[in-house]
A and B are shown apart, each in its own frame.
Chain A
Amino acid sequence: MIIYTPLSEVDIFPTENEAHSKRHCVTFQGKQMYVEEQENGSYQLLQLLSTDPNDFMDQNYVPGTSIPNK
């Protein structure tokens, strides 16, 4: 598909709100992280928001980790 327009792609094909509403920024065990709601109600860690390099070494905060729904 080729579109010929000065508008940006999202102006023409707006993304569904659903995708936005599934992502949350939460604090879990004192660390800020981005999570995505899963179908089974748990959350999957997408991105850890930390500046401490050691946090990224922690097995508990590996991207993809399931976080139980509190």
Chain B
Amino acid sequence: MDKETEKQKKQTKQGGNNASAIVEKIQQLGQTNVPQAPDSNIHVLSIIGQVEGHVQLPPQNKTTKYEHVLPQLIAIEQNPKIEGLIILLNTVGGDVEAGLALAEMIASMSKPTVSIVLGGGHSIGVPIATAADYSFIVPTATMTIHPIRLTGLVIGVPQTFEYLDKMQDRVIKFVVDHSNIKEDHFKELMFAKGNLTRDIGTNVVGEDAVEQGLINEVGGVKNAMEKVNELIGDNKEPEQEVIQ
């Protein structure tokens, strides 16, 4: 009897293991086998969800943590095998300082960078998109340009406004320096009334972003790959001339 119960116990235990293994398998997302390609000379950096800065957001938020991205950018810059970088953007914005840090890092890289705005590249996503050497936007993607705002404890003194204004100027300056838009025009878009239902600002979609001078071209993955390869080619040429 004892032996039998032990056996049963074992069986149920095994059954439990099997069940959990199946559950684990189900939990794994299915993906087809893809043949292994040789090392890619173009790396991809996706900036998705909120740009997370000094404050850790609750776990239900999808975030891109800048402290993770900064070392990756340095690694890309240092690795001689990596010749170009594509930045995929689908962000709702986030921390101004973290976003500007990312944008400055991307802008100061020596390797060709191309950005694609997919879905949305709002608020602080705008400077990140313009930071790349060349920027694309898919026809359906949108970018919201609006004044920056503070969260948390705000002291109601004039200095708070000055601080906010200065921070905003940093964003404006970066975008103006790295895209074809004029400062006055960008400010016009930023402070426009009546475009956004609950906010001051402008929402530009696909083609519109190109017309305003924020983004270089409307296009997707194909265009971005072509452009980054073209830029890589340009980057290589001077070296070849020296050899000749």
Q: Could you tell me which A residues sit within 8 Å of B by CB distance?
A: 8, 10, 15, 19-20, 23, 25, 32, 40, 44, 49-54, 57, 59, 62-66
Q: List 13 A-B contacts (CB under 8 A).
A: A10-B58, A19-B60, A49-B68, A51-B45, A52-B40, A52-B43, A52-B44, A53-B40, A53-B44, A64-B28, A64-B29, A65-B28, A66-B24
Q: Are B56 and A62 in contact (CB under 8 A)?
A: no
The answer to whether the Cβ of B243 comes within 8 Å of any Cβ in the partner chain is no
B240: chain A residues within 8 A (beta carbon)? none
Shortest distance in angstroms between B220's beta carbon and chain A's nearest beta carbon?
16
Instruction: Give complex CA distance A23, B58 in Å.
Output: 11
Q: Which chain A residues border B159 with CB–CB below 8 Å?
A: none
Interface centre among A8, A23, A57 (most CB of B within 10 A): A57
Taking residues whose C-beta sits less than 8 angstroms from the other chain, chain B's interface range is: 20 to 34
**Contact residues in B for A32 (Cβ distance below 8 Å):** 68
Also in contact, A64 and B43, with CB within 8 A (given A10-B58, A25-B68): no
Instruction: Tell me the smallest distance from the CB of B130 to a CB of chain A, in Å.
Output: 20
B residues within 8 Å of A by Cβ? Answer: 20, 24, 27-29, 31, 33-34, 36-37, 39-40, 42-45, 56, 58-60, 68, 72, 75-76, 85, 151
Q: Which A residues are in CB contact (< 8 Å) with B37?
A: 54, 57
Residues of A with C-beta under 8 A to B27: 44, 64
Across chains A and B, which 10 residue pairs bring their CB atoms closest together, nearest first?
A51-B43, A64-B28, A15-B58, A19-B59, A57-B34, A64-B29, A53-B44, A51-B45, A64-B27, A51-B72
A25 to B68, alpha carbons, bound, how many Å? 10
